[in-house]
Chain A
Amino acid sequence: MFDFLEGYDLLGAFWVTVQLAVFSGIGSLVLGTILAAMRVSPVPLMRGFATVYVNVVRNIPLTVIIVFASLGLADIFGITLGAADDFDALSFRLAILGLTVYTAAFVCEAIRSGINTVPVGQAEAARAIGLNFTQVLSLIVLPQAFRSVIGPLTNVLIALTKNTTVAAAIGVAEAALLMKEMIENESQLILISAIFAFGFVVLTLPTGLILGWVAKRVAVKR
């Protein structure tokens, strides 16, 4: 019944999907945190820059960003990210770049909304008992902010996992591209689609359940 699977590297494709999600997850966490720091900083210019970045990037379709990375950055500007000869590695890295730039905007918003859930009274009380700025931040505000950020960040991570399929648009050999190839060449449309759907359910549902449980456990009860 499953002989149509022969000759296709199903696990390999999903492994590429996972790699895309992990690498761009780390990248967007770093970039998004920097942006969030700018977005809540006392310097108006930095706040303005981060606001513009977020509003611009999250209103452009991810597909446009990733296709631009391939046709614009690589083909026109010759940005090869250290993989000039290897087309597969190049498109893989460009996809990670595009996913990182796009997801960072959502990470930034998630972190900012987490900081916003801390009532101003907390910081005011901390200052009133004589804590200095570093103490207020490290003892009072950030611990509470981190705990309420886990939930929103989980949603960003799940969205990112699903968004990795967009990398198929520039020929990265991940799950969606393999699925397209398989259903065009084999006759088992429903079965193949079910396998890929199941693959994504396996990737996203446990992440949501586990991290959702963690988020609920550590959430600050107000």
Chain B
Amino acid sequence: MTSVLYDAPGPGAKRRNIIYSALFVVVLALGVWWIYSAMSDKGQLEWAKWSPFTESQAWTTYLLPGLVNTLKAAGLALVIALPLGALFGIARLSDHRWVRVPSGVVVEFFRAIPVLILMVFANQLYAEYTDISTEMRPLYAVVTGLVLYNASVLAEVVRAGILSLPKGQTEAAKAIGLRKGQTMRSILLPQSVTAMLPALVSQLVVIVKDTALGGALLSFTELLSARKTLAANYGNVIPSFIVVAVIFIVLNLLLTTFASWLEKRLRRAKRSTGAVLTGGAMDDLSVTGTPISKTDGATGDEGGGGG
């Protein structure tokens, strides 16, 4: 493997690498030992604290309903945010200043505000001005907050997707006499949708992660707050945290794997113009920290590194 930073290792370097590896193993082992002894000191490794997860009751009563709520909020947020985002993204590309500038201001405004602030605001707004029941209000508030924030992020995704298409597409459309609306509908949007699919899936990871905010501050009964009631019942704080973290990691890894598979597939199938918007390319735009796709479109050399 060639890297910018070092040559292919020779005999001396290989020996050095083995020594470094050995040292690193020792450090890692010490860390693992420290965690292990801390956990067994505090009795967190007792089987009684872990056994609930082998029984169906912990899952059916606590974790699965929580997971369903997490997915419900994330799914609803994506479904509502997507058309809104597309609308604003296209509006930002409008030829008319009075359309372009206000939609730009709206998008930049909501991207600059933390999701939590939006959720807290929506929660209070629904409490004061609507008669949504108290049980449903957290879901509404979480979805509203997520929609406001993610619609503005997706607006940028859509805009970048359309801008990533070669200029010849618009020019050719103009040459055969299509109107602006027709060019957008039948030429640009269909191509940009395939280009931005990976970025959309990556954004879904951000949405899934942000639902946990509703659990911590708005008493929305998603996975994190389901953990709380579970731990209160079985008295297993650390194991429950680990299980919930693993659920989140698996869920999000599935999504990122799907995104990079999609990206590779789209790159290979040159049915569009070949422009693909990766999660990495979108990193400039999404500020909550979109997961960066494993291969960097720009260089694609070092890739995910060995591991």
Q: Which residues of A are at the interface with B, using a C-beta cutoff of 8 A?
A: 39-40, 42-52, 55-56, 58-64, 67-68, 71-72, 75-77, 103, 106, 109-110, 112-113, 115-120, 122-123, 127, 133, 137, 141, 151-152, 155-156, 158-159, 162-166, 168-169, 175-176, 179-180, 183-184, 189, 193, 196-197, 200-201, 204-205, 208
Contacts and interface: CB of A to CB of B under 8 A. Distances in A.
A81 B253 CA distance: 32
A174 to B, nearest CB: 10
B305 A113 contact: no
A42 B217 CA distance: 44
Given A43-B17, A72-B241, A156-B289, A60 B249 contact: yes
A72 B241 CA distance: 8
Nearest to A126: B4
B9 interface: yes
Contact of A193 (B121, B248, B283): B121
A152 B211 CA distance: 25
Nearest to A164: B114
A189 to B, nearest CB: 5
Given A116-B299, A122-B4, A183-B121, A60 B245 contact: yes
Contacts of B184: none
Interface residues of B, number: 68
Nearest to A77: B38
- Chain B contact surface mostly: helix
A113 B128 CA distance: 46
A60 B289 CA distance: 12
A53 B9 CA distance: 25
Contacts of A179: 117, 120-121
Contacts of A48: 306-307
Contacts of A204: 112, 287
A180 B224 contact: no
A159 B120 contact: no
